[in-house]
Chains A and B, each alone.
Chain A
Amino acid sequence: MVMRTLICLVLTVWLSHAQSKQLRIAVEGALVSLDPHEQLSETGEQYAHTVFDPLVRWRQDGTFEPRLATSWAQLDRSTLRLFLRKDVLFHSGNGMTADDVLFSLARLQRSVDFKGLFNVIERVEKIDNYTVDLHTRHPYPLLLNVLAYAFILDSKFYAGRDEVVKYQATFASQHASGSGPYTVTKRIVGQVLEVTRNPRYWDSEATGNVDALTFIPIRSDSTRLAALLSGEVDVASPIAPVDIERVQRNPALKMFVEPGTRIVMLQLNQQRRTELKNPRIRKAIRLAINEPLLVQKVLRNMGTAAGQLSAPSFLGHLEDLQPEYNPDLARALMREAGYEKGFRLTMMAPNNRYMADEQIAQAVAAMLAKINIHVDLKTFPKAQYFQFYDQRAADILMLGWQADTFDSNNIFEFVLACSDITKGTGVYNSAGFCSAAIDSDIAQANREMNPEQRVRTLQRIERTAREEEAVLPLYWQPLVWASKQEVPLESVINFLNVPYWGDLTVP
């Protein structure tokens, strides 16, 4: 009798345990704030999509999916009408209306990290409780891309305590009321974030069935890998290139290497060195670097060798701009330019910012030695590196760029446009490259509402950049996720590197 009770007890406990589906996710970055409007980073976006909802969001195929906005209509060239979902409840129990959208968009325009994206919206007009009109300062083709960052906050919950500040404790940085599929149940800053399924989630078609998610930031690559291999976490990202094989050998695990859109490039500073002013020298340097070999050897075939800035999924991408490797031609160009004997260049790169950044920089230095360019390479942790970067402290600088809008023009604006502090353009143009033609094309692509025309403009910029050897693209950094076999991770990961955990269905 006692035995039977015991068995029953064990079974009940086991069953109730089996019914409650939990997922432990090891990530690299720790969340800075519970305020989705405070920090624009992949860690922040992942959190925001879990606890909040944006107006629209990206699908895996690169189209937009209605979320809190059910549909939209372009009223005129600079006005977009949004129709809002009517059955949305925030975690606090308040219902969502147009007021929350007005409140959230105004708040985003005050946020240091987001105002750059949202400032294009001049005015938000409430038509009725579930309709708003967005008036942009000029016709703007990327408004939906921006609205994918428009996470809607509960205006009644935050009323009077809605300040968004970078480095101080605010109400919003410690409390959250969104409309998302999960609510925050536990947070120890820098150690753990636990969220539990929101039983009143508006999206009844959402297939997700995981009851609780635990995000554990683990900084060290090897510790994160050990946690996955030992089964202590169910999902881990990223995985270092050297560990790929280790994961693939394990039959209990699976791995996804998605092509990313972050372009890692070198910038040859023409302001610092007269040699680099000569396009022939810049071309020689490009031809001396074997990008596919870098990807194959250093990144262990993760990532994609790049011959341009726009990733294949971007509008500006040109199929024929491939990486070229031709050391003989490079040496010939050096000879033509009168630098057969070569010269020395300084180079700086980060050592903990991009995937295998330090090893890539070392390999590049070795490749350039073959055409008699001797590189004095220094690498720094990202905290110091970007100070040097801002000072343009070396002849060659490494930079990785992720377009927040997932559009070519964002890269062009920051990396190719003439550097102009007052206009805020070309902030990351450390090459000192400047072309009036490219600048006017960038401005045009920012207003062009005709999609075909816009693609042509973006592609023209990409081609001019290659012809004038403006920058030296190396590779697109891959997005790497690994999980236990039974987790259908493929259904939620995407090119944003922001899995929509709310949609995850675990058998």
Chain B
Amino acid sequence: MIGFILRRLLQAVLVMLTISFASFVIQGKLGDPVTQMVGQNVTLAERAQLTESLGLNDPLLQQYARYLSDALSGDLGVSYYHKQATLAVIGDRLPATLELSFCALLIVLLTATPLGVFAAIRPRHILSRLIVIVSTLGLSVPIFVVAMFLVYFFAVEWQWLPSFGRGETHLLFGFWSSGLVTKDGLQHLLLPSVSLAFVLAPIFVRLIRAQMLEELDSDYVRYAWSKGIPAHRVYFVHALKNTMLPVITVGGIQVGTLIAYTILTETIFQWPGMGLLFMEAVSRVDAPLISAYLIVVGLIFVLINTLVDLIYLWVNPRVRIPGYGQ
């Protein structure tokens, strides 16, 4: 166990180094931050002076070394636009993104599990066919289409729900600005999290259905039936438990998709989270913020994947047997 964690930690460090280098190298390709910062009448000499004072003229490796040594002491630079430490800026926006993702995942969990299980238990039922068709559609509809439909009907036509922003937030524990504790905040949360859930849920519905069908066909389930175990126990205790194993793995992989989709969702709903922050940083060529975002997201990635592996270890005892699966 400890060996596993240590190995993971080493991998994580390598991954983070690679991300930091990659994010640093692409900075030069994003555009010139100085041009974005100044008005049109500013002379070339003035611009050159700004570029020099930002240290952008030094050799790339030298800039990277400087960046890395600062990063080791917890300093990921100062955002050009926000004029504060990039980590503080991201920290301010983190709760918004985490709450959005959390709610979307909750919706996914609460809809995908029952739908997938139902479609597996009653494969010939008309509803099951509908679930399969809709989930196929859901897989192929891009999120901005879903989001715009939701905004069009719920915000513009019927005016039931707000179309943008996070609404009223409350400071919890002195650092976490939460939209989950006010009615206004929850109303603002609904449309973005539903659109995010809409694109994530289909893959889980299909996965749970396929896996459940497979489990229901396996020997131990047949044995359970013949033993006369009640149906709900066979379905939900025996089969569902084993169905969830690959779901956890895929769930871990889907974190990447989730992060990518939060960028889109947040842009569409002007949701003040990390994704919108990143989009704005890219258009402003706010290089320190872009790098910091990539590093933080990389870290979240690594952490969640490690966590998923640990959960897997805990749920599936067979993995702990040395030599299993080799």
B283 close to A (CB within 8 Å) = yes
**Which residue of chain B is the closest to A352 with respect to CB atoms?**
B283
A71 to B31, CA, bound (A): 45
Contacts A383-B285, A424-B43, A427-B43 known; A169 to B163 CB distance under 8 Å? Answer: no
- CB–CB B162/A232 < 8 A: yes
A488 close to B (CB within 8 Å) = no
Produce 1/0 per residue, A151-170, CB < 8 A to B: 00000000000000011110
Which residues of the partner chain A approach B164 to less than 8 Å between Cβ atoms? 218, 223, 226-227, 232
Contacts A116-B42, A190-B280 known; A222 to B148 CB distance under 8 Å? Answer: yes
Residues 164-203 of A contacting B (Cβ, < 8 Å): 166-169, 173-174, 188-191
- CB–CB B44/A387 < 8 A: no
B32 close to A (CB within 8 Å) = yes
B41 close to A (CB within 8 Å) = yes
- CB–CB B163/A230 < 8 A: yes
A18 to B39, CA, bound (A): 41
Residues 18-59 of B contacting A (Cβ, < 8 Å): 29-32, 35-46, 50, 54
**Which residue of chain A is the closest to B37 with respect to CB atoms?**
A166
Of B77-85, B101-109, B312-320, which binds chain A?
B77-85
Which residues of the partner chain A approach B95 to less than 8 Å between Cβ atoms? none
- CB–CB B83/A169 < 8 A: yes
Which residues of the partner chain B approach A169 to less than 8 Å between Cβ atoms? 78, 83-84
Which residues of the partner chain A approach B44 to less than 8 Å between Cβ atoms? 421, 424, 427
What size tier do the contact residues of chain B reach? Answer: 35 or more
**Which residue of chain B is the closest to A401 with respect to CB atoms?**
B40
- CB–CB B163/A232 < 8 A: yes
**Which residue of chain B is the closest to A116 with respect to CB atoms?**
B41
**Which residue of chain B is the closest to A413 with respect to CB atoms?**
B41
Which of these, A33, A232, A386, contacts B31 with CB under 8 Å?
A: A386
A30 to B268, CA, bound (A): 16
**Which residue of chain B is the closest to A225 with respect to CB atoms?**
B156
Which of these, A191, A231, A352, contacts B159 with CB under 8 Å?
A: A231
B326 CB to closest chain A CB (Å) equals 48
- CB–CB B283/A167 < 8 A: no
A112 close to B (CB within 8 Å) = yes
A99 close to B (CB within 8 Å) = no
A226 to B152, CA, bound (A): 8
A182 to B147, CA, bound (A): 37
Produce 1/0 per residue, A315-327, CB < 8 A to B: 0000000000000
A256 close to B (CB within 8 Å) = no
**Which residue of chain B is the closest to A399 with respect to CB atoms?**
B40
A359 to B156, CA, bound (A): 27
B165 close to A (CB within 8 Å) = yes
B151 close to A (CB within 8 Å) = yes
A414 to B82, CA, bound (A): 30
Which residues of the partner chain A approach B81 to less than 8 Å between Cβ atoms? 32, 189-190
A112 to B152, CA, bound (A): 44
- CB–CB A381/B39 < 8 A: no
Produce 1/0 per residue, A209-237, CB < 8 A to B: 00000001011101100110111100000
B263 close to A (CB within 8 Å) = no
Closest 9 CB pairs of A and B: A383-B31, A40-B39, A169-B83, A116-B41, A113-B39, A226-B163, A230-B155, A424-B43, A229-B156
**Can you list 30 A-B pairs with a CB-CB distance of less than 8 A?**
A32-B81, A39-B37, A112-B38, A112-B46, A113-B42, A116-B42, A167-B50, A168-B78, A189-B81, A189-B83, A190-B272, A190-B280, A223-B151, A223-B269, A223-B270, A226-B152, A226-B164, A230-B159, A381-B31, A382-B36, A383-B32, A383-B36, A383-B282, A383-B284, A384-B31, A386-B35, A401-B40, A404-B39, A427-B43, A428-B40
Q: Which residues of B contact A (CB under 8 A)?
A: 29-32, 35-46, 50, 54, 78, 80-84, 148, 151-152, 155-156, 159, 162-165, 267-270, 272, 277, 279-280, 282-285
